[in-house]
Structure 1
């Protein structure tokens, strides 16, 4: 009689241990399921669409920083796509269609252009560009030392008069930068340090850049003072 009761008590302990393990496993399964289902597909889809719209806007109207902004947002898009895949989101999310451009208005009548006076051999030369800096057509005036050959020139954001920053020349150096693609020149003083040979600020860059371009690929840089 004693042996039988002892066996029954041991069987009860085994049964309780198996039941506890089963309950623990069920709790873990439920917790994992809730973790995966906690992501809202609607929220993830909205976040994805907003980032795709931002990237599309930067590509439609780029500026000097658009490439970096697009790279940052693309990393966010990739992360959202991973979370959508984990959450089981299947909607085909794309950027919104761009708004149609406004209807073109007929151009206003323009007065006839005035004819320039004939060149009488005065102080102006045929090589002078529209900035009045006297470029000779090959990007050099012969008045300064050509430096930083092979460098490109871009801009930094500064709302001030025409100026430059440089990692090659000390503050106070006077430079002339000529864009060979449109033969426009600007003379600037170095006002701050940078990591490039020459960076032009907004005001200086506007005087020499080509419309819609934020990089001067064929510059001539002269040190004149």
Structure 2
């Protein structure tokens, strides 16, 4: 792993109007890692991702990506720089077909032949999408829409993929498939992944390291395997 983090937050504060959601968050992600951020609902996990992407502006502190300070950048620039988020709730284009959604994921790319290959790669990763390539996104099941949202983000050729609650509202068998694919993408393509997830068990099993967030602050950071063994974490987040 490189010495420099590919993504880093330094004492970041942000919020919604007068509501302070993040209170001095510092965290880092090294190239090639899968890092999980776990915590209760409302702890500030999704706000962390939206602050990294500049959708919510940091009121203090700094966000660094790939050696550049990005918290003053226009969020639309980030996918072209290799930082892409799969937001909570999937947000695919419901009236467009599966294939049209994937093509839109590559909107800033000019390498037409490689785009075709990457669409085929998406269908190899998610065979269900290949079967439904001509179907409108809105007619897919929740699990298929989540697969499409991830595949569309991968079409941007991200260096870092931010995943916000990928398991939300999905059946256990589909959740397991999606986490297997997340690990696969990390291993095969070397894509660095930061995943925010309420399913702490699955997230930590997939991750290298983990952060625990409570009411807008990081309260614990450790190797994922150590967090899985931690009695306090097991009691609070793994239902034991």
- With normalisation by structure 1, the TM-score equals 0.23
Q: TM (normalized to structure 2)?
A: 0.22
Bigger relative contact order (CA 8 A; separation at least 6): 2
Larger Rg belongs to: 1
